């Protein structure tokens, strides 16, 4: 039986197509360059990605609509934020009073 070869250095993971589309789109957007689908697709092709038009359009639509990436689990509020909100509500006496104060701040 042949012995398995162990590679001491791990190979870097290959970037997924969706992640590459998001990365290139965001890089171009931050640089202020044109982010038309054909331009992003050409860039990806030059990097060695074969992205179908359907996949490409799907990822860009989600980006443009502001939808988070599927794997993005970032929370909108931390537990510290929620604890601070609870403490503030207890100081004001009720959630309704808290909302009144927030409305006053929002109109100022």
pLDDT digits (tens, 9 = 90+) for 52-94: 777 777 887 777 666 555 555 555 667 788 888 899 999 999 9
Mean pLDDT (the chain, rounded)? 76
Asked if residue 44 and residue 23 are part of one domain, the reply reads yes
CA terminus-to-terminus distance, the chain: 78
Do 22 and 46 reside in the same domain of the chain?
Answer: yes
Question: Is residue 1 one of the residues assigned to a domain?
Answer: no
Confidence of residue 11 (pLDDT cuts 50, 70, 90): very low
- Do 57 and 82 lie in a common domain? no
Q: What range does the domain containing 106 cover?
A: 75-108
Number of domains in the chain: 2
pTM of this structure: 0.46
Burial bucket for residue 18 (CB in 10 Å: 0-12, 13-18, 19+): middle
In a domain, 4, yes or no: no
pLDDT top residue among 108 and 20 = 20
Do 80 and 108 belong to one domain? yes
Q: Which residues contact 28 (CB under 8 A, 6 or more apart)?
A: 34, 35, 39, 40, 43
């Amino acid at each position: 039986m042949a012995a398995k070869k162990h590679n001491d250095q791990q190979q870097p993971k290959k970037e997924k197509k969706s992640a590459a589309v998001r990365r290139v789109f965001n890089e171009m957007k931050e640089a202020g360059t044109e982010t038309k689908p054909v331009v992003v697709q050409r860039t990806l092709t030059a990097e060695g990605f074969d992205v179908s038009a359907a996949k490409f359009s799907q990822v860009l639509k989600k980006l443009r609509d502001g939808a988070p990436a599927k794997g993005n689990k970032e929370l909108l509020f931390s537990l510290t934020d929620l604890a601070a909100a609870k403490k503030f509500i207890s100081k004001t006496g009720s959630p309704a009073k808290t909302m009144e104060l927030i409305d006053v701040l929002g109109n100022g």
